[in-house]
Structure 1
Amino acid sequence: MPPLPSRPRSVTPPRTRGSAGERASTGYLPIGGGDGARAAPRTRPVVTVTTPPRGPGNRGAGLRWLTGRVPTPASHGVTRSDRALFDALVGTGRARSAAGGEAELLYERKDSVIVRVGDIVLKAHPEGVRPADLVARVRVAASTPGLLAPLEPPFPVAGRTVTVWPHGTPVTPDVDPPWEEGARLLARLHRHPVPAHAPACRGWARRVARAVGRLPRGTNDAAVAEIRRTHAGLSPWLRSLPEPEAPACLVHGDWHLGQLVHTPNAGWRLIDIGDLGTGDPAWDLARPAALFASGLLPPREWERFLAAYRAAGGPAVPPEGDPWSTLDLPARAMVVQIAATRVGRARAEGRPLNEQEEPLVRICRRIRLSH
């Protein structure tokens, strides 16, 4: 990635994305000198790490990075606090599923629960979700090609807002990751005309800050301290990000391979519309860009994704040349967010950082020292 200057320049950020040269001269996305010259293309990660072999025994660990989530094991039980919600979701699903079948907990974390019952999937959204925004996103999904839309409008279950979806097969460790399919769907979404009722997709800086804010406090933890220092250095840049002028682009808002499912009739589709709306499409590419720049995503896989996105006319990066002219800051911010999430989880589990988490802390240090 190109180096960031020591601090944001005292200029008013532009209201539009502009060219790479314009961003270099204004300080919106610093990629080099102020003469408008474009930075040289970067094709290598910022840090060099040895990527583990892609054998069958390794793919499960790699899937966590590619999908952005840790799949809930089949043997995982529902926590006591969520038992009533789980039972309510199962009952609702059995009343709606034509196929019937056993209930299966697909995903559980503090703010959401996802359950499969037969041929449908029910998702209990976070407690703070605004029903009006979710309804607007459901409407957008229903009219946007490439998205798997809910089967009906959101409704309340056990005090939570719930959506019901057709079941699809997610990306699994035993298959080659569908980078090209995901890239084409993402480019198609970004190029789709923005519906008048689409909500805004914002809050990128707040998401990073929340992840860092959840790290343990009051401990002499070098990894935690490094992540906090790096975030402090990036925060002025994140706070100065302008909102794209309307109509901007239609963006997913939380894209990774875990947001792809394969359906019998429609093939691969994008799921999870919780952040769907108008915004800067570069942030949809931030996770794979961050993992590539950290050395955790092999160059060949990054190249597959980027080439397919460009071939499909994706607007988040220039059609050729240096992609980091738009991806630099989103990728750096995503490195910090992923590092904070993974280090926080390791500390909560009482274990040392593993061979994939340690490089994230190292890249945070590299980012900080490049300021």
Structure 2
Amino acid sequence: MTSTLPHIDVHLVRGLVESQFPQWSRLPLALLDPAGSDHVIYRLGEHLTVRLPRHGGAVDQARKEMALLPRMAPLLPLAVPEPVAVGEPGLGYPWDWGVTRWLEGAPATVAALGASTEAAQVLAEFLLALQALPHDGEPAAEPLVARDAQTRAAIDTVGEHFDSDAMIRLWEAALAAPAWDRPPVWFHGDFHTGNLLTVAGRVTAVLDFGELGTGDPARDLMMAFTLLSEGCRPVFRQVLGCDDATWLRGRGWALTTGLSAYTAYARTRPDVAAQTRRQILAALEG
């Protein structure tokens, strides 16, 4: 992992494409902004996107998606990224990068879908289909308790903006909840509003499988607290068949991931601050 973040601009991306994939060298490049916190994304022609990791924490995603998504996609009820190629380091850029098919759609918003019971059902059905896919002994991801120190530190940091006592009570209850005691299942790992696309007001695609792994499905319950209103969460929970312990662990995941994003971006990204504030308060609400 490099200690200095690389500078990524259109000249670098054009050079990487021309040197490694000359068949696409004449296609126009257009920056997608704002993109995610992990990747700089360019649209390449009409049918492709180029995704370059911004930091070392995202460098494995291109090869992970290339290895896993083609066999998962036909068995999932929503569209997922279709990897086309993986580029290599070059021209001073230090990491692998990916080329995927362009997916049409607009980003999901709470205003459009937060009160949609249809969206709640569709998203729960997607998770059930993902959890049902076979896996070949992929290593299980970190348990919730692995985030204990950083979560408590974040609670201390944001105490003036939130109810610290309520956050501690939720966090300790989530850690004390009975653990997932069934076979590990696939989880998306970053299942929140920002990783959904919609067409005509309906969810059509799920993006960004960099955190894809196996283990406790409670990790994906954060969607209930990033997108869905209090009135729609019971639909999501009922379709998934979540017991009390799983739901409580899911609230813990929503709290810890919300705090992580809030402390990282609140000062520089007002949009992220608003989204993660909603997430934290919704997790406390239950």
Q: Is the 8 A contact 1:170 1:258 kept in 2?
A: no
Alignment identity in percent?
A: 17
Distance 2:237 2:51 in 1: 31
User: For 1:48-91, what per-residue CA distance to the aligned partner results, in whole angstroms no more than 9, with x for missing partners?
Assistant: xxxxxxxxxxxxxxxxxxxxxxxxxxxxxxxxx65445532344
CA–CA distance in 2 between the matches of 1:243 and 1:130? 29
The structure with the greater share of residues assigned to helix is: 2
Tell me the residue number matched to 1:223: 161
Partner of 1:330: 250
Q: Secondary structure at the match of 2:161?
A: helix
Q: Residues 86 and 164 of structure 1: is their aligned pair in 2 closer, same or farther, counting only changes over 3 Å?
A: same
Spell out the pairing of 1:216-255 with structure 2 (5 A cutoff). 222-223=160-161, 226-227=163-164, 230-231=167-168, 234=171, 238=175, 246=183, 248-255=184-191
Q: How does 1:35-46 map to 2 (within 5 A)?
A: none
- Say whether the 8 Å CA contact 1:138–1:150 is kept in structure 2: yes
- Residue 8 of structure 2 contacts residue 40 of structure 2 at CA under 8 Å; is this kept in 1? no
Instruction: Give the match for residue 302 of structure 1.
Output: 233
Deviations 1:271-304 (A, max 9, x none): 212111211112212331x35xxxx842443345
Q: Judging changes above 3 Å, is the alpha-carbon distance between structure 1 residues 327 and 154 closer, same or farther for their aligned structure 2 residues? A: farther
Runs of 5+ in structure 1 lacking a partner?
1-80
Flag the structure with larger Rg. 1
CA offset digits 1:2-54 (Å, max 9, x no partner): xxxxxxxxxxxxxxxxxxxxxxxxxxxxxxxxxxxxxxxxxxxxxxxxxxxxx
The Cα shift of 1:168 comes to 1.0
Alignment of 1:160-199 (within 5 A): 160-172=95-107, 173=109, 176=113, 178-194=119-135, 196=136, 198-199=138-139
For residue 204 of structure 1, report the CA deviation from its aligned partner. Answer: 4.0
Instruction: Work out which of the residue numbers 91, 113, 120 in structure 1 matches 2:40.
Output: 113
Q: What is the TM-score normalised by the length of structure 1?
A: 0.54
- Rounded to whole Å, the distance in 1 between the matches of 2:139 and 2:62 is 9
Deviations 1:114-167 (A, max 9, x none): 222222122223314564x86355322221132433113463351122122111
- Aligned position for 2:11: 87
Q: How many residues align?
A: 260
Alpha-carbon distance between aligned partners in 2 of 1:305 and 1:237, rounded to the nearest angstrom: 19
Deviation at 1:306, TM superposition (A): 3.9
| Residues 221, 247 of structure 2: 8 Å contact kept | yes
Aligned-residue Cα RMSD (Å) equals 4.4
Is the Cα–Cα contact under 8 Å of residues 261 and 268 in structure 1 kept in the other structure?
A: yes
How is 1:1-371 mapped onto 2 (pairs within 5 angstroms)? Answer: 83-84=7-8, 87-93=11-17, 95=22, 97=24, 100-108=27-35, 111-118=38-45, 119-125=47-53, 126-129=55-58, 131=60, 135-144=63-72, 145-146=75-76, 147-153=80-86, 155-157=88-90, 158-172=93-107, 173=109, 176=113, 178-194=119-135, 196=136, 198-206=138-146, 210=150, 213=153, 222-223=160-161, 226-227=163-164, 230-231=167-168, 234=171, 238=175, 246=183, 248-261=184-197, 268-288=204-224, 290-291=225-226, 297-306=228-237, 310=239, 314=240, 317-318=241-242, 323-339=243-259, 341-342=261-262, 345-347=265-267, 357=277, 360=280
Q: How far does residue 210 in structure 1 lie from its aligned partner after superposition?
A: 4.3
